[in-house]
Structure 1
Amino acid sequence: MTAVRCAILDDYQDVALGAAGWATLAPAVAITRFADNVADRDALAQRLAAFEIVVAMRERTTFDAALFARLPNLKLLVTTGMVNAAIDMAAAKAAGVTVVGTRGSVGPAAELAWGLLLALMRNIPAENANFHAGGTQWQLTTGRDLHGRTLGVVGLGKLGQRVIAYGKAFGMDVVGWSKNSTPERCEGLGIGHAASLHELLARADVVSLHLTLNTETRGIIGAAEFERMKPGAVLVNTSRGPLVDEAALVTALRGGGLAGAGLDTFDTEPLPLDHALRDLPNVIATPHLGYVTDETYRIYYGDAVEDIRAWLDGNPVRILNP
C-alpha cells in the first residue's frame, strides 16, 4: 500500500510533529514538514505538487485558483482555525479539494495585545536591552500610566471583549466601537459607546484593533484617522496588518503625532528586512505571534491529525467548503 503524502507548511519553530500524535497515521500517511515560507508561486507549486494532503498554518500561504490548478494531486487541505481568508473555498471545491479546519484559542492574541501595550507604555524593550548590555546608566526612560487613561477598542467580538476586560482591570476608561455596535451593547459590556470610529479615535489614548479583515475594514485606519487621534496616543494591532495603511502609519510615527505602535501583523509576512517599520524606535513588534503558544499548537495539530484520520475513513469533519 502506497502512503498518502502530507506536507506540513511553515513549521518555523519545529514543533508540529511533537505537538500531536502524527505517528498514529502511519503507515497510511507519510509526513513531510517544511520550516520555511515560500513566497515564489512557481517554487511553491513545485514543492507541493506531489502531496495529496497539505496542512497550512493560518493565512501564511495563499491558495487560489491558479495554485489549485497546479496541484492535481491535492485532495485535502487542512487549515488551522475555522476561518482562512487566504483560501479560495470555491476554487478548492471546483478543483476537488476538501478544505477542513481546526479549533483554536481566543486568549493568546488578546494577551499579546496587552503585552505589546505594556511594553510600549513602560519602554520595556529598551530598558531590558540596556540591562543586558550592562549600560552604565541604570534607568533610561520614564513610562506612562494606563490607569485613568482611555482605551478605545475597535471591534467588539471575542478578542475585543477580552481586551476590554484587561483595560477595566487596569483602571482604564474603556470606550468601544464596531460597525454594528449600539449604546445598549456597550452598556452591557460595561463600557462607553462611540457613535463613530472617528469619535473613538478622538477620545482614546490607546487604540486597539480587533476587527476581521474584509473589503470594508481593509485600510480602515489611514492618514485621516491618524490625524484624528490624540497627540501622544498609541496604536496596537494584533488582528491583521492591512487594517492599517502602512505608509500612513510610518508617516504618523515619524512625525510624532502617533507616540508609538505595538504591532504583531503586517501587510507582507515575513516583513521585508528593509521595511521602514523596522527602523522606527517607537515601534514594538512581534512576528505574528498572537496565536503562537504551546497550548494553541496542540489544539491546531491535534485537530489536524483528527481531520486527516476522518478523511481517510471517508467521513471528513469540520468541512469549510461543503
Structure 2
Amino acid sequence: MREEQSVSPTQVLIAGDHFVTDALVLDALRAELGPDAVTPSVLTLPWPYEPYGPIAEVDEASGDEDELIAALSGVEVAITQMAPFTSRVLAAADSLKLIVCCRGGPVNVNVAAAAERGIEVRTTPGRNAVAAAEHAVALLLAALRQLPARHASVRAGEWRSDLYALSECGTELGGATVGLVGYGAIGSRVARILRAFDAEVLVHDPYLTDPAETSVPLPELLSRSTAVSLHARLTDETRGMIGAAELARMPRGATLVNTARGGLVDYDAVVDALESGQLGAAAFDVYETEPVATDSRLLSAPRTVLTPHLAGATVQTAERAARLAAEAVASYLKANA
C-alpha cells in the first residue's frame, strides 16, 4: 500500500509595515489556509514612521534592498505593501515565485524584471475603495461649508454671526451637479454616496465599462459641474489634465477635489483660480510633490482643505488588504498544487 506524501508548508515572507502589519497578514493567511499551510518569516518595514520614496528604479517603497535580499532566502511567496522589489532584489531571489503587493498598483515592484524571471505579481485592487470614497466626499463637504476655517474660528474664541451673511454662506451638496473624472472602484462608490445626497452625478471615463453610466466629454463635465472630484489613474494621458484652461471652463465659484494623484493637477493654476475667485474652494489629499514644500503657494491659498495623503488610512483598509493578499496566496497555491 503506497503511503501518501505530505506536502511541505510554503515558505512565505511577510514584509509588513506599521499599517498593513505582519500580524494582520499572518492572521489572514491562517484564516484562509489553515495554521500549517505556510512557514512564515517576517520583516517589518519602517513606513509610515519613516516616509516612503524611490529606491533604485521603483517608487513609493520602504526598507533596504540588502535586508530584503537576506530575508528572501528560500522564500517562494512574498507579501508586502512597501518592500523595494527592484531588479537587483529580484535577481537575488532564486526561490521566489509570487509577490503579492497589498495595494492597487505594484509601484514598488519592477514588474518587467519579475516577469523576466517568471515571478508572478498580484495586487489587492479595491482594498481602499471604501475609505478613499468616503474621504473624497468628506473633503467635498468640508470645502463646500469651509469647516476647517469655521472650526479654527471657534477654537480661537470667535463667534462669528456675520458668517450668516449671504456672501459668506457655503453651498449644499443636495441638488448640486458633481462631475467625477474616473469611474473605477472609488469613483463609482463616490457616485453612489453623492446620489444619496440628491446630487446629480456626471462621469468622464474613456474606459467606462458600467452599462448604467454614460461618459461625457471632459469639457462638458467641467462646464456643467459645480464641483469636480478626480478619481483617475496617473498616466501619460492624464498627467496635468486639470490646468488653467480646464479650471476656466468650470462655473465661477466651483469646487475641485483631488484624492487620486497629484500629477493630475496644475496646482499653480489652482492657486491662481482660488485667488481670482474662479474656484470657490478646493480640497486635496494628494500633491505634485510630497511632502508639500514649505514654500508652496497652496499652503497659503484661500478656501482650501488639505490632508496629507491619507484617504485610504482606515483600519478596515489594512484588514481588507491582508485578507485579499491571503486570498491571492490561496489562489496561487491551488493553481500550483
TM-score by length of 2: 0.73
* Partner-residue secondary structure (3-state), 1:152: strand
Match of 1:109 among 109, 127, 132: 132
Q: 1:85 Cα deviation (Å)?
A: 4.9
Note the alpha carbon deviations across 1:90-142, whole angstroms, 9 max, x for none: 222224543222352532221111100000011111222333x3513255743
Match of 2:88 among 47, 69, 72: 69
Match of 2:100 among 72, 78, 86: 78
CA distance in 2, matches of 1:171, 1:38: 39
2:144 paired with 1:124? no
Greater Cα shift, 253-262 or 235-244: 253-262
2:51 aligns with: 37
1:145 aligns with: 172
1:165 aligns with: 192
Q: 1:277 Cα deviation (Å)?
A: 2.6
CA distance in 1, matches of 2:260, 2:186: 9
* Partner-residue secondary structure (3-state), 1:220: coil
Cα 1:82–1:239 change in 2 (3 A) is: closer
CA distance in 2, matches of 1:164, 1:140: 34
Amino acid at match of 1:16: T
CA distance in 2, matches of 1:294, 1:241: 24
- By relative contact order (CA 8 Å, sep 6+), the higher-ranking structure is 1
CA distance in 2, matches of 1:228, 1:31: 52
Amino acid at match of 1:166: I
CA distance in 1, matches of 2:153, 2:235: 41
Q: CA RMSD in A?
A: 3.6
2:223 paired with 1:202? yes
Greater Cα shift, 24-33 or 239-248: 24-33
Pair member with larger Rg:
2
2:39 aligns with: 28
Cα 1:21–1:71 change in 2 (3 A) is: closer
Amino acid at match of 1:68: S
2:203 paired with 1:176? yes
CA distance in 1, matches of 2:309, 2:182: 19
Note the alpha carbon deviations across 1:59-95, whole angstroms, 9 max, x for none: x7775xxx32255444343212454355442222224
2:171 paired with 1:155? no
Matches within 5 A, 1:228-307: 228-305=249-326, 307=328
Q: Check the 8 A contact 2:68/2:83 in 1, yes or no.
A: no
2:4 aligns with: none
CA distance in 2, matches of 1:195, 1:156: 12
* Partner-residue secondary structure (3-state), 1:284: strand
**Paired-residue identity, %:** 32
* Partner-residue secondary structure (3-state), 2:43: strand
Unaligned regions of 5+ residues in structure 1, if any?
Answer: 318-322
Match of 1:7 among 10, 15, 37: 15
Amino acid at match of 1:31: V
Aligned residues: 300
Matches within 5 A, 1:94-105: 94-102=116-124, 104=127
1:48 aligns with: 68
Q: Check the 8 A contact 1:113/1:238 in 2, yes or no.
A: yes
Unaligned regions of 5+ residues in structure 2, if any?
Answer: 1-10, 57-62, 164-168
2:21 aligns with: 16
CA distance in 2, matches of 1:97, 1:275: 42
TM-score by length of 1: 0.76
